[in-house]
Amino acid sequence: MMKMTSLQELKAIGTELRKELVVKHSEAKMAHIGSDLSCLDIMITLYFRVLGKDDHFILSKGHAALALYAVLHKKGIITDQVYGTLGKNGSMLGEHPIYGIKGIEAATGSLGHGLSIGAGIALAKKLDGSKGTVYVLLSDGECQEGSTLEAMNFAGLHKLGNLVAIVDSNKFQAYDRTLIPDSQVQKEFDTAGWTTKRIPGHDFIELESNLRKTSAAPTLYIADTVLGKGVSDMEDKLEWHYKSPTKEQVDEFVKKIK
Ligand SMILES: [Mg+2]
């Protein structure tokens, strides 16, 4: 039987990957480190404590691709050789995930499509009587997209209890605060027949206990997170949605990550 990753190990992985992401973002000159750091703990919990062989994971907020690559690499799903190409010409590892990379289930370059893809997989599994849950990680900004709301209604109508949507609620979208408050999003999902709950997005114990729960209805978790979590200079600062750390900032930021 495979050994479970302990809470202490999860925290150590969080620290290690935060440091790694600061370096990788700087080297590759890629944006969206703030977004990576806001949803990293959710993905670590999923990959190291929750996902089983019959489960699926879709990163709808494709701009957090580097965090997904880092987690998949730590799990041994993305090889050292592939991970080493990040930021280089010809690499498969772009700023948004694409098909053809081991462990990536959906290309999510245009935002707002992950929940539709996840709902389709969940319905197919339900019709087939297949085991497993489909997890979709969305940004809070994506909850305003019409395609997300169509998938919400579809999943509610078909009572897709094997579908779990997690919103990385870092309270920013692109160049400003989110336009529609989470409370409104939660109301809309409630009305569409989903089970909804607000949870802390950086607490491994809370994340695991909630994400493991099953329900007869599709489930929405609004996870309260912080943009740039773990790097004090970046936390809740809009500029880290689009900036990458300079060479000079890397050492300073890495030193501060606990
Ligand atoms: Mg956001």
CA dihedral of 69, 63, 93, 60, whole degrees rounded to 10? 70
Retrieve residue 106's tokens. Answer: 């959906």
Q: Ligand 1 centre from 114 Cα, in Å?
A: 15
Q: 6-26, pLDDT tens digit by residue?
A: 999 999 999 999 999 999 999
Q: Ligand 1 centre from 49 Cα, in Å?
A: 24
Question: What confidence category does residue 106 fall into, taking pLDDT thresholds of 50, 70 and 90?
Answer: very high
Distance, in Å, from the CA atom of 149 to the CA atom of 138, rounded to the nearest integer, reads: 12
Average pLDDT, the chain: 95
Q: 157-211, pLDDT tens digit by residue?
A: 999 999 999 999 999 998 899 999 999 999 999 999 999 999 999 999 999 999 9
Q: Ligand 1 centre from 129 Cα, in Å?
A: 35
Architecture in CATH for domain 9-227+250-256:
3-Layer(aba) Sandwich (3.40)
Q: Ligand 1 centre from 53 Cα, in Å?
A: 29
Q: Is the dihedral of CA 141, 45, 249, 66 positive or negative?
A: negative
Q: Ligand 1 centre from 17 Cα, in Å?
A: 20
> What pLDDT, on a 0 to 100 scale, did the predictor assign at position 159?
97
Paired with 19 in beta bridges are: none
Q: Ligand 1 centre from 199 Cα, in Å?
A: 16
Q: What does the DSSP assignment read for 229-243?
A: TT-TTTTT-GGGGT-
Q: Ligand 1 centre from 35 Cα, in Å?
A: 7
Q: Is the pLDDT of residue 1 over 60?
A: no
Q: Which residue, among 11, 60, 76, has the nearest Cα to 207 in the 3D structure?
A: 11
Q: Is the pLDDT of residue 3 over 80?
A: no
Q: Ligand 1 centre from 130 Cα, in Å?
A: 33
Q: 77-93, pLDDT tens digit by residue?
A: 999 999 999 999 999 99
Looking up tokens 């999902």, which residue turns up? 189
Q: Ligand 1 centre from 59 Cα, in Å?
A: 13
Question: What confidence category does residue 2 fall into, taking pLDDT thresholds of 50, 70 and 90?
Answer: low
What is the share, in percent, of the chain residues with pLDDT greater than 90?
A: 94
Residue ranges covered by each domain of the chain: 9-227+250-256
Retrieve residue 119's tokens. Answer: 């709902």
Q: Ligand 1 centre from 85 Cα, in Å?
A: 27
Q: Ligand 1 centre from 131 Cα, in Å?
A: 31
Q: Ligand 1 centre from 70 Cα, in Å?
A: 20
* Amino acid at the residue 208: E
Distance, in Å, from the CA atom of 85 to the CA atom of 116, rounded to the nearest integer, reads: 31
Question: What confidence category does residue 213 fall into, taking pLDDT thresholds of 50, 70 and 90?
Answer: confident
- The dihedrals phi and psi of 45, each to the nearest 5 degrees, come to -60, -45
Which residues have CB atoms below 5 A from the ion given as ligand 1?
Answer: 139-141, 170, 172
Q: How many CA atoms lie within 13 A of 133 on its CB side?
A: 21
Q: Ligand 1 centre from 171 Cα, in Å?
A: 5
Distance, in Å, from the CA atom of 192 to the CA atom of 200, rounded to the nearest integer, reads: 23
Q: Do the Cβ atoms of 132 and 56 come closer than 8 Å?
A: yes
Supply the pTM of this predicted model. Answer: 0.97
